[in-house]
Amino acid sequence: MLYEAIVEELLNEMKSGQLQPGDKLQSIREAAHVFGCSRNTVIRAYGELERRHRIYAVPQSGYYVAHRNHSSIEGTRIESAAQDIIDFEWAGPDRSAMPYRDFQHCLNEAIERYREDMFTYSSGQGLSSLRFQLSRHLRDLQVFTPPERIYVVTGSQQALSLLTGLPFPNGKQNIVVEQPVHAGMVALLQGYIGEVFGISYEEGGMDLERLEALFRDRDVKFFYTVSRFHNPTGYSHTNEARKKMVELARQYDVYIIEDDYMGDLDGDPKNDPMFAYDPSGRVIYVKSFSKVMLPGLRLGLAVLPDGLREGFQRAKAVADVHSPLLTQGALEVYLESGMFAAHIGRMREIYRRKAVLLQEAYRKHLPPGTAHTGSYSGFYTTIELPAPLRAQAVADHLLGRGVRVHPAQHLFLPEFRKEGVIRLSVSQVEEGLLEPGIQAIGDGIRELLRLRSGVKFVKRG
């Protein structure tokens, strides 16, 4: 059919480099003239490319190329689509849904708005006008705080790094982290001068009696937790558990660092952050925009109690003076204009569909003996492999079957380490590839189990 020929022609131009990411396609009228077809045929072809996440539409502007067939991630990883690899490892947001053009407009507006300020150093706490917009934005997440308590950081990882190194008002020095935990936090805690204690985060939540014992007996400075859409499991604490943890923190003079890096994706208005249960200033709220927007933006925030503000400000000044002014200004415009709210609405729907498809594929294709976590954010999930399979061997085997997964052993503290867990990120996997990818994982696990159970007889003579 003619529309299929148009699709194939445009895909070839993307692969050859004639069409680059961000390039604008011909208008429907122009394409109909070039290809000698009706406008409806072009609309159908563009619709198919959009369904495959190779192009994206910008209202009142046109269609743009989203496909990338070149380069690598961190200089080593070839783009999955170019090699027919289904990539469950790379944990960035869905590229086809990223607001490239909208944010370009915001950058241009920020240049005009702050053209004089870019020739001087800015406030280490962040632009006051951005903090005002962030304060308004946080209300939708049930985080009510004045702009004065908000500190703009160069990604939430910077906030975690600065807070880990600071003395806290409680005078304590040990840390409790949930297990498993994301690789950035594990790396940050290596060589930490105090003791680091882990507590398992499982489907039923975590053992609050053990948490209380740690708070009571272990001189705990702070407890670090991702309260919803945990990395790597995808779990979320219940409101009851969040409230109880805050009560324990107040009772035993412990601070909580609540990492709500994907709170924007939670469409349930009944889910509250821990911060909402904290009238005493025990909860330090940390948030990032990397997973819901553009990772290269490198902006996040921390909401700090009075006892930490001065020390944090000094540490931030030593680290980088202030976060980049231009991206701060662009984020301010993006929030102020309502573009962010519209973007998050789209992202919630995309990830919700992926989460449903993933769970259906798990039920259908994973073999007996495996266990999996929920992924209600449409981002992270884990598979616990049947014994005696090990994550690295399974990952290597699956790569040969065209699927890339992430061995998760380095997401645990040494005493909690598990060798039989793989993490999947589904955020960048096309919806149509989710089931084939999980089927390949299930088939690969079965194949390795058959190889493991094979018995070899040696002839004696």
Beta bridge partners, 64, equal 24, 56
Going by C-beta distance under 8 Å and a sequence separation of 6 or more, which residues neighbour residue 273?
A: 141, 142, 143, 227, 228, 242, 258, 260, 263, 283, 285
Nearest residue to 445 via CA among 384, 362, 367: 367
Q: Which residues pair with 255 in a beta bridge?
A: 222
416-427 burial code (b ≥16 CB/10 A, e <16): eebbbbbbbbbb
> For residues 446, 79, 427 and 231, what is the CA-based torsion angle, rounded to 10 degrees?
80
DSSP 8-state assignment for residue 460: P
Asked if 226 contacts 194 with a C-beta cutoff of 8 angstroms, the reply is no
| Distance of alpha carbon 305 from the chain centroid | 26
Model pTM?
0.80
Beta strands 283-288; 255-259: pairing state: parallel
DSSP string for residues in 28-45: HHHHHHHHTS-HHHHHHH
Distance CA 57, CA 425 (A): 25
Task: Count the helices and strands in the chain (H runs, E runs).
Answer: 14, 17
pLDDT, position 81: 42
**pLDDT at position 73, please?**
36
> Are the CB atoms for 437 and 403 separated by under 8 Å?
yes
pLDDT of 119: 64
Phi, psi of 153 (to 5 degrees): -125, 160
Token digits of residue 184: 């950035």
Whether the bond into 232 is cis, omega within 30 of 0: yes
pLDDT value, residue 260: 95
- pLDDT for 361: 96
pLDDT for position 267: 83
Reference 452, options 364, 369, 365; nearest CA is 369
Helix (H, G, I), strand (E, B) or coil at 262: coil
C-alpha closest to that of 336 among 102, 10, 141:
102
10-residue mean pLDDT profile of the chain (461 residues): values are: 85 85 87 87 87 75 66 38 75 76 87 78 89 96 96 93 97 97 93 95 91 98 95 92 97 97 88 92 93 80 96 94 88 92 90 92 96 80 95 94 94 95 92 96 96 55 39
Within 10 angstroms of residue 295's Cβ, the number of other Cβ atoms is: 16
How many Cβ atoms from other residues are within 10 Å of residue 243's Cβ? 16
The pLDDT value recorded for residue 159 is 96
| pLDDT at residue 116 in the model | 75
Q: For each of the domains in the chain, give its residue range(s) and CATH number, in order of start.
A: 2-70 (1.10.10.10), 102-337 (3.40.640.10), 341-453 (3.90.1150.10)
Tens-digit pLDDT profile for residues 81-125: 444 789 999 877 777 778 878 888 888 998 888 877 766 777 889
